[in-house]
Amino acid sequence: MGTADLSRPVPDSGHEPHVCGFFERRTCSIQYVVSDPATGECAIIDPVLDYDEKAGSLATSSADQLLRHISERHLKPTWILDTHPHADHLSAADYLKQKTGARTGIGEKIVEVQTLWKAIYNLPNTFPTDGSQWDHLFADGERFKIGALDAEVLFSPGHTLASVTYVVGNAAFVHDTLLMPDFGTARCDFPGGDAGQLWRTLQRILALPDDARLFTGHDYMPDGRGPAWESTVAEQRRRNVHLRQAQNEQEFIELRRARDAELPMPRLMFHALQVNIAAGRLPAPETNGRRYLRIPLDVLPAARWD
């Protein structure tokens, strides 16, 4: 699926993580395996379940590449983490949990997203909106371990109301909040998004040490360059095209609203979110043994068309 491992190497000191990023070209998503060199324990972050909406077909090629990487390096997965409920790809969290037995986790505000989208999809009352589809819901500031590595969760709303950043040693997984410096920042016009919140989230992330490594969740390869996904706090402060244009919260809100008004909705949003608010679990088979996705019509009447 057009994946590659291009991360900068990290010395096997046992104190900082080794990070491998895998670029999924169909949705321009980056999946990560972050591991502790001392113990071999690892976490999978934002895995992709391959989906072709034209054919209505699913595949596990991208997730299987993560499994091969883990097997070849004799790693031990302990966590499968999503930074937020994705609107542009289906999560492979449930598939990988079945394959590895690792625990799944997401930010605790997922319950608010579940409530919002349960109403949009008109899901049955039996669909729980308490986050119980995951093994653990992370609170802001919560700390946990990946092997001997210290990890911390930063609540990072703005792109969605449930987004979090995972800080593992000197690496921070920021997903859509910050994109590469030559592309800018995340859109905020999805249900639950907020440009003012995103500005405040950006200030929190950019308060990390200058040399903190920032790993984004998408790359759209402006000007035809190759895929990239790693920067530093210092690089983002100095070069991010949106932060150079907006010097304060109000300027950023105006910039984002003008930019977002020109963007069409992600092509997989309605396909993906019904799966992703269920921790990557597919809808139950119906009486004929087939699974079906629900696509609500005209629920976003102001959405821009391609």
Q: Is the pTM of this model over 0.95?
A: no
155 alpha-carbon distance from chain centroid: 13
Whether residue 301 is contained in a domain is answered as no
Whether residue 296 is contained in a domain is answered as no
Average pLDDT for 133-146: 98
Contact 208, 216 (CB under 8 A): no
**Percent helix, strand and coil across the chain, each to the nearest 5:** 25, 25, 50
Q: What is the pLDDT of residues 173-228, one digit of tens each?
A: 998 899 999 999 999 998 899 999 999 999 999 999 999 999 999 999 999 999 99
Residue 96 belongs to domain spanning: 19-276
**CATH code for the domain in which residue 166 is found:** 3.60.15.10
Whether residue 286 is contained in a domain is answered as no
Whether residue 270 is contained in a domain is answered as yes
Give the pLDDT band (50/70/90) at residue 306: confident
When divided into structural domains, the chain yields a total of 1
| In the predicted structure, residue 6 carries a pLDDT above the cut 80 | no
